[in-house]
Structure 1
Amino acid sequence: MRRARQATAEEPAKGAAQAAQYVRMSTDHQKYSTENQKDAIAAYAARHNLTIVRTYADEGRSGLRIEGRDALKQLIDDVRNRRTDFSVVLVYDVSRWGRFPDADESAYYEYTCKEAGIRVQYCAEQFENDGSLSSTIIKSMKRAMAGEYSRELSAKVFAGQCRLIALGFRQGGTPGYGLRRQLIDEDRTPKADLGRGEYKSLQTDRVILKPGPPHEVELVRRIYRCFVLQLKSEAEIAAMLNLEGIPNEFGRPWTRGTIHQILTNEKYVGNNVYNRVSFKLKQTRVINPPDMWIRADHAFNAVIDSDFFLAARRIIEERSKRLTDAEMLERLTTLLKQKGHLSGLVIDEMDEMPSSSVYRTRFGSLIRAYQLVGYDPGRDYQYIETNRALRTMFPELLDKVMAGIREAGGTVEFDKLTDILRINGEFTASIIIARCLHTPAGFLRWKLRLDTGLRPDITIAIRMAAENKEILDYYLLPSIDMSTDRLRLAEENGIYLDAYRFDDLDAFFGLSARKGLGVAA
């Protein structure tokens, strides 16, 4: 995992002020970027009688936001907690500090340093960061220009991706069951099939989808026949395939969700669709309406006839016709009269009823829906409801973790008996989901129970947010540093534990990555 790299240099020269340097490069392809930055910073330090005693380096990290930039976060944390042995922070230029879309965010982190008595100096800029009117104006312009550069680059990249999609080329992601990725050259001549974790190496090459092995193609067609002709539900189809011992593309049992994805994704009729979800500048994830989608119809060889696909879509749309809140509660009232009691299982067993998950989404929880129809289950089911929802999340999170490992170029095996992951045959990991608890005083707490029997090398602890509906963050806890089998986390836990906190799983996936060794001359 990438962490803030701190290196202490020799003792400062007599009379010289001590400084820390912060360097950042955006991608791993910028091989020498940080070294060039360090050379320029060293020259600046020599001219200004400064001795560099500490280095904070973010390598292969975007400057759009602070999430994932462990070194900058460590620097700010050290400054706030007065754990500094320097009075100056040296940065190559304003853009290396960050290309934040909001220039005020960049100013905020600099002000945090200034408030602690630590100056930030930009070594390659044509102004001295001395607080004068001219430097303040120029620095503000530079910050805005750095953010604008990212916006312009994002627009250009998006336009390029849209053009490639319109030409029928695949832009990332796993192909899906029954499909494979095929590498083609600039003349669209097939070159090779790409396996999991394999990528194109030439800029002029492109990737398209093609039908996979015959047995997988036939299984996809069978799924459609079962759904359209035999009117089986996704859950029934998944249960049937699992009973027959047929695994999905990741070697795991089928779920209702994986079957539903096959029945609704247009790639199975050869259509290339892009921009369903936007996450521009890594700010806010937005689900776009269909009129904003970028598409190329009949870009690939179809696995399913369009008539079958459209029939499946009509069935799903009819079944998913949106009911009003009043209609949903009316159906729940009728069911209560029929059964005399309510539960998630009772609701899900009724074909004409919306699923219990739909009631949870619409009304916030099943308990709230029960209250609206005047049903009292006789005990507090909130704890049970939350735990049930978290159990439902686990398979999806497991699939996400395994897919991320494979996309990073690693291999992973899952032991169904122990719930332990073995990565690259080298280390083990387990996943636990920590429910958020509210104390009587209004504080948030999370209880973790670590497996001391099997003792995985790393425990991925997923903290849920206050309402237990969304993920708050991740803790990557190495067993070698954990001396107890139980942890109680607060919102802030100090450097001992929060050093292992991450906003996503990129650091964990980085542990699984494999790099090819160069050939000696």
Structure 2
Amino acid sequence: MQDRGYDDSDSKNEHGPRLVRAAEYVRMSTDHQKYSTENQADAIRHYAATRGIEIVRTYADAGKSGLKIEGRDALKRLIDDVQTGAADFTMILVYDISRWGRFQDADESAYYEYICKRAGIAVLYCAEQFENDGSPVSTIVKGVKRAMAGEYSRELSTKVFAGQGRLIEKGYRQGGPAGFGLRRTLIDESGTTKGVLTRGEHKSIQTDRVILTPGPDDEIAVVRSVYAAFVHDELSEREIADDLNSRGILTDLGRAWTRGTVHQMLINGKYVGDNVWNRQSFKLKKKRVRNDPEMWIRSPGAFEAIVEHDLFDAAQAIIGARSFRLSDADMIEALREVYQTKGILSGIIIDECEGLPSSSAYSSRFGSLLRAYSLVCQTAFKRDPRSASKRDPLFRI
């Protein structure tokens, strides 16, 4: 929150009555420049100047999505000031309804406005073609505008997802670290290599693309040795991890190897050059979920392979066979024991447990990890898993 430092004397005209004190709220995510916080503030000040309003507070959320209130610290401070009586203004000026938020539930947008209204503080939308005066017409129009703001984000999400999917199919990398033994390489629109991106570095030109390329020879040798040890020497992921750690070899994140990190290397198709995307979804800032394999978007042979396909396929066969001898009931019982021990379940936790089928095996056997979790819930608590609270750690996948 920015305090403009006005006192009561500032709110009086030299020859006129006291000006109405107001706070302005501005927000920008990655929208077009016309929605920059500076341009919003200019429009709000013009609106205020023509109506005898003095802006005494600024609450600004720069670079924040309007999909939810989480992460929007300025809006949360604004609501808190209103609720605690700390607000020294009687109205809030916002550029338009979409800047207040693109909440997927229009009632959530209305709820935060109602909190202000209940405290005697009006919310005014400066660029909208209606007065927020509580009249039937303004109420109807405002409701439609709130729904439109949310729908804009849904449509944009669909378009972005489709565009990213097409880029995956063309063999371009969409986010995420390269992984041990691989590197992210930047190319221009003609396919000419521009350089290797370091960790945390991103492309700056929209038409540039990122592909995966083989990393240093010593890392490639480690990757191949992991597959060979697993397939030919019949070592477990835990034994391979212990061997790597004893030799002082660290992961691409500079950490010690675990059963889970070795397992992830063994099941990731990027090592045979496949471009795979949409393993997880985090659409519209909702809960992150693991998608079923049939929802993954794949582009086989998009990158240069560093592991032979026969070796990779053999590793998948071994991993799949480990759960083949177990019945559905045995797998669920084993997962239930992990849940009782750990208190939560996730793909990473499953992959780290010695003697437990992999997360991919559970997903393949039961259709999805969430389905397996729900069966554990039924077994453990004898109730419908749909009745579980959203905060139930069982569903933190």
TM-score by length of 1: 0.63
**Structure 2 match to 1:200:** 203
Structure 1 212/130 Cα, relative in aligned 2: closer, same or farther at 3 Å? Answer: same
Separation in structure 1 between the aligned mates of residue 271 and residue 95 of structure 2, nearest angstrom: 49
**Aligned-residue offset at 1:94:** 0.4
Work out whether residues 20 and 89 of structure 1, in 8 Å CA contact, stay in contact via their aligned partners in 2.
yes
Work out whether residues 3 and 56 of structure 2, in 8 Å CA contact, stay in contact via their aligned partners in 1.
no
**Structure 1 match to 2:337:** 360
Moved more, 7-16 or 291-300: 7-16
**Aligned-residue offset at 1:62:** 0.5
The equivalences for 1:335-374 within 5 A come to: 358-361=335-338, 364-366=339-341
Secondary structure of 1:45's match?
A: helix
Separation in structure 1 between the aligned mates of residue 40 and residue 302 of structure 2, nearest angstrom: 45
- What percentage of aligned pairs have identical amino acids? 60
Separation in structure 1 between the aligned mates of residue 391 and residue 288 of structure 2, nearest angstrom: 20
Moved more, 315-324 or 204-213: 315-324
Work out whether residues 25 and 60 of structure 1, in 8 Å CA contact, stay in contact via their aligned partners in 2.
yes
Separation in structure 2 between the aligned mates of residue 103 and residue 223 of structure 1, nearest angstrom: 51
Structure 1 9/320 Cα, relative in aligned 2: closer, same or farther at 3 Å? Answer: farther
Q: Deviations over 1:457-497 (max 9, x none)?
A: xxxxxxxx9877788xxxxxxxxxxxxxxxxxxxxxxxxxx
Flag the structure with higher strand content. Answer: 1
Separation in structure 1 between the aligned mates of residue 201 and residue 244 of structure 2, nearest angstrom: 29
Q: Deviations over 1:229-258 (max 9, x none)?
A: 111111110101111111111222111111
Separation in structure 2 between the aligned mates of residue 466 and residue 174 of structure 1, nearest angstrom: 29
**Structure 2 match to 1:179:** 182
Work out whether residues 90 and 122 of structure 1, in 8 Å CA contact, stay in contact via their aligned partners in 2.
yes
**Structure 2 match to 1:227:** 230
Structure 1 7/255 Cα, relative in aligned 2: closer, same or farther at 3 Å? Answer: farther
Separation in structure 2 between the aligned mates of residue 155 and residue 468 of structure 1, nearest angstrom: 29
Match of 1:314 among 314, 317, 321: 317
**Aligned-residue offset at 1:191:** 1.9
Separation in structure 2 between the aligned mates of residue 8 and residue 161 of structure 1, nearest angstrom: 47
**Structure 2 match to 1:285:** 288
Secondary structure of 1:89's match?
A: strand
Separation in structure 2 between the aligned mates of residue 59 and residue 466 of structure 1, nearest angstrom: 29
The equivalences for 1:426-505 within 5 A come to: none
Q: Aligned-pair RMSD on alpha carbons?
A: 2.6
Separation in structure 2 between the aligned mates of residue 105 and residue 467 of structure 1, nearest angstrom: 23
Separation in structure 2 between the aligned mates of residue 322 and residue 37 of structure 1, nearest angstrom: 63
Match of 2:56 among 53, 57, 63: 53
Match of 1:150 among 153, 156, 175: 153
**Aligned-residue offset at 1:274:** 1.0
The one-letter amino acid of 1:286's match is V
**Structure 1 match to 2:11:** 12
Q: Deviations over 1:25-82 (max 9, x none)?
A: 0139959811111111111112221111111100000101111000011111111111
Secondary structure of 1:57's match?
A: strand
Q: Deviations over 1:428-455 (max 9, x none)?
A: xxxxxxxxxxxxxxxxxxxxxxxxxxxx
**Aligned-residue offset at 1:285:** 2.4
Gaps of 5+ in 1: 333-353, 367-384, 397-464, 472-521
Structure 1 46/137 Cα, relative in aligned 2: closer, same or farther at 3 Å? Answer: same
Separation in structure 2 between the aligned mates of residue 65 and residue 322 of structure 1, nearest angstrom: 46
Secondary structure of 1:153's match?
A: helix
Would you say 1:68 and 2:67 are equivalent positions? no
Separation in structure 1 between the aligned mates of residue 6 and residue 174 of structure 2, nearest angstrom: 44
Structure 1 470/73 Cα, relative in aligned 2: closer, same or farther at 3 Å? Answer: farther
Secondary structure of 1:73's match?
A: helix
Work out whether residues 24 and 57 of structure 1, in 8 Å CA contact, stay in contact via their aligned partners in 2.
yes
Work out whether residues 9 and 52 of structure 1, in 8 Å CA contact, stay in contact via their aligned partners in 2.
no
Structure 1 322/73 Cα, relative in aligned 2: closer, same or farther at 3 Å? Answer: farther
**Structure 2 match to 1:127:** 130
Gaps of 5+ in 2: 353-389
Separation in structure 2 between the aligned mates of residue 201 and residue 231 of structure 1, nearest angstrom: 45
The equivalences for 1:503-518 within 5 A come to: none
Flag the structure with higher helix content. Answer: 2
The equivalences for 1:17-36 within 5 A come to: 17-27=20-30, 30=33, 33-36=36-39
Secondary structure of 1:365's match?
A: helix
Q: Hey, which bits of structure 1, 4+ residues long, moved more than 6 A?
A: 465-471
Separation in structure 2 between the aligned mates of residue 75 and residue 53 of structure 1, nearest angstrom: 13
Structure 1 99/6 Cα, relative in aligned 2: closer, same or farther at 3 Å? Answer: farther
Separation in structure 1 between the aligned mates of residue 392 and residue 137 of structure 2, nearest angstrom: 48
The one-letter amino acid of 2:41's match is K
**Structure 2 match to 1:428:** none
Work out whether residues 184 and 196 of structure 2, in 8 Å CA contact, stay in contact via their aligned partners in 1.
yes
Q: Deviations over 1:109-133 (max 9, x none)?
A: 1011111111000011110000001
Q: Deviations over 1:385-435 (max 9, x none)?
A: 66x99xx98xx9xxxxxxxxxxxxxxxxxxxxxxxxxxxxxxxxxxxxxxx
Would you say 1:40 and 2:17 are equivalent positions? no
Work out whether residues 188 and 209 of structure 2, in 8 Å CA contact, stay in contact via their aligned partners in 1.
yes
**Structure number with higher relative contact order (C-alpha < 8 Å, ≥ 6 residues apart):** 2
Separation in structure 2 between the aligned mates of residue 290 and residue 467 of structure 1, nearest angstrom: 25
Q: Deviations over 1:131-185 (max 9, x none)?
A: 0011111111111111111111111111110110000000111000000011111
Structure 1 163/22 Cα, relative in aligned 2: closer, same or farther at 3 Å? Answer: same
Secondary structure of 1:248's match?
A: coil
Work out whether residues 28 and 59 of structure 1, in 8 Å CA contact, stay in contact via their aligned partners in 2.
no
